[in-house]
Amino acid sequence: MSGMMKMCEICRVRASSYTCVSCGKKVCADCYLAQVGVCDDCAKGKERSNLLLKQLKECGAIQFGVFKLTSGKESQYYVDIKKASTNPEILEEIAENMERYVDAERIAGMALGAVPIAVALSLKTRIPFVIIRKEEKMYGTAKQIEGEIKQGEKVIVVEDVATTGRSVKRAVDLLRSAGANCERALVVVNREEGAEELLAEHGVKLISLIKMTDLM
């Protein structure tokens, strides 16, 4: 069936004749930006993440310069999404950016940083959420997950900042032991210190709205 005409994956009206270099979608000439080689969806996504980045810089959530970390090491930048997630406009923009990656029956956010993000995304998508508690010294009766997880339910983890990925991995482990099917995590800023690799080893794809190496 080599001659079969495939429809554009965006408008579904015209024949597809181009492939987006970013997402691989097959699209028509009208849904394609030839100068950059990307589809309309990816071009809009780029605009969105540029706006989010601008907002994060403006509110001081992302700063460039020389910063001394608590570990004593120096960093070329500083990230604190809490400065952003208390601002309704930025929080809404984070949810707008994340929405298209959410293919799940439940959202999971880790206390404390991801809670406003999980709530915003839940309001936007109408998908319910759970909160994962911080690691506690006292175990016993303390419940690690606030909210309900159903057997086999598809759950996506959201986080504000990923560094090594250990905290996202802990969330995934907890969700899986509660019966969840967890294959995707979404983060606002990826500091890229091994998170993507660690999670991939455990069968989780990490999607980052902003990767720090893209900005350096």
Binding site for Zn ion (CB under 5 A): 8, 10-11, 14, 20, 22-23, 25, 28, 31, 39, 42
Q: Which is nearer to Zn ion, 45 or 109 (CB)?
A: 45
- CA–CA separation, 24 and 174 (whole Å): 34
- The nearest distance, CB 81 to Zn ion, in angstroms, is 26
- CA–CA separation, 109 and 117 (whole Å): 7
Contacts of 124 (CB under 8 A, 6+ apart): 92, 95, 96, 99
- The nearest distance, CB 154 to Zn ion, in angstroms, is 24
Q: Which is nearer to Zn ion, 44 or 166 (CB)?
A: 44
Contacts of 6 (CB under 8 A, 6+ apart): 15, 16, 26
- The nearest distance, CB 14 to Zn ion, in angstroms, is 5
- The nearest distance, CB 141 to Zn ion, in angstroms, is 48
Q: Which is nearer to Zn ion, 25 or 184 (CB)?
A: 25
Residue 159 near residue 187 (C-beta atoms within 8 A): yes
Element (H, E) at 207: strand 205-211
Indicate the Cα dihedral angle 79, 82, 87, 91, nearest 10°.
80
Q: Which is nearer to Zn ion, 14 or 133 (CB)?
A: 14
